[in-house]
């Protein structure tokens, strides 16, 4: 059984490693960053790194998984499906993580985000009734369409510096989905 202090230490280690990677990615390309550099910047040993992750890509995918998990949990906590509200939440979540998105853009690693975006929307679709009555096959393509569209809108918004408000972005995408 894992005690609270061990779990708390693991969370601190993960956050330190993630933060260190984000700082390093602002200075150099992801491919050029070594695990030793990440561990040193995070103030942890290489052993602590390998207890937490298998490779440096896991830092990003784990963080994105946790981000989408929190997003999904918040959506599922609401009884009413509201596209605008869900989209507002989507854009506000990623605005809070603008550093991550910017680093993914600059390191040409956006495919990691796309994979997790599609995966998350497939999971959400099982738990949230699609407000369109599609066959199972058509719903599969609808999810791919929505996930890909949201991903591309997010990346374009990030590349332009996220100048538009979360509300504005949610309204635009919501109107496109409803048309």
> pLDDT tens, 121-176?
777 766 654 555 678 788 778 878 888 888 899 999 998 999 999 999 999 999 98
Residue range 18-54, pLDDT digits in tens: 999 999 999 999 999 999 999 999 999 999 999 999 9
d(CA 122, CA 45): 37
Question: How many C-beta atoms lie closer than 10 Å to residue 94's C-beta?
Answer: 22
In this predicted model, which residue has the larger pLDDT, 5 or 18? Answer: 18
d(CA 129, CA 136): 12
Return the pLDDT at 59. Answer: 97
Where b means 16+ CB within 10 Å and e means fewer, 96-113 reads: ebeebbbbbeebebbebb
């Amino acid at each position: 059984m894992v005690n609270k202090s061990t779990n708390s230490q693991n969370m601190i280690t993960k956050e330190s490693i993630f933060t260190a990677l984000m700082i390093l990615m602002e200075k150099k390309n992801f491919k050029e960053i070594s695990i030793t550099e990440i561990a040193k910047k995070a103030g942890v040993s290489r052993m602590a790194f390998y207890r937490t992750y298998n490779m440096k890509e896991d830092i990003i995918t784990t963080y994105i998984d946790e981000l989408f998990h929190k997003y999904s949990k918040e959506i599922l906590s609401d009884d009413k499906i509201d596209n605008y509200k869900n989209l507002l939440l989507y854009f506000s979540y990623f605005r809070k993580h603008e550093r991550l998105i910017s680093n993914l853009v600059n390191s040409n690693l956006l495919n990691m985000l796309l994979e997790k975006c599609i995966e998350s929307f497939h999971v959400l679709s099982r738990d949230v009734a699609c407000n369109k009555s599609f066959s199972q096959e058509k719903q599969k393509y609808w999810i791919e369409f929505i996930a890909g569209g949201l991903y591309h809108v997010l990346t374009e918004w990030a590349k332009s510096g996220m100048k538009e408000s979360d509300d504005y972005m949610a309204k635009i995408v919501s109107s496109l989905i409803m048309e």
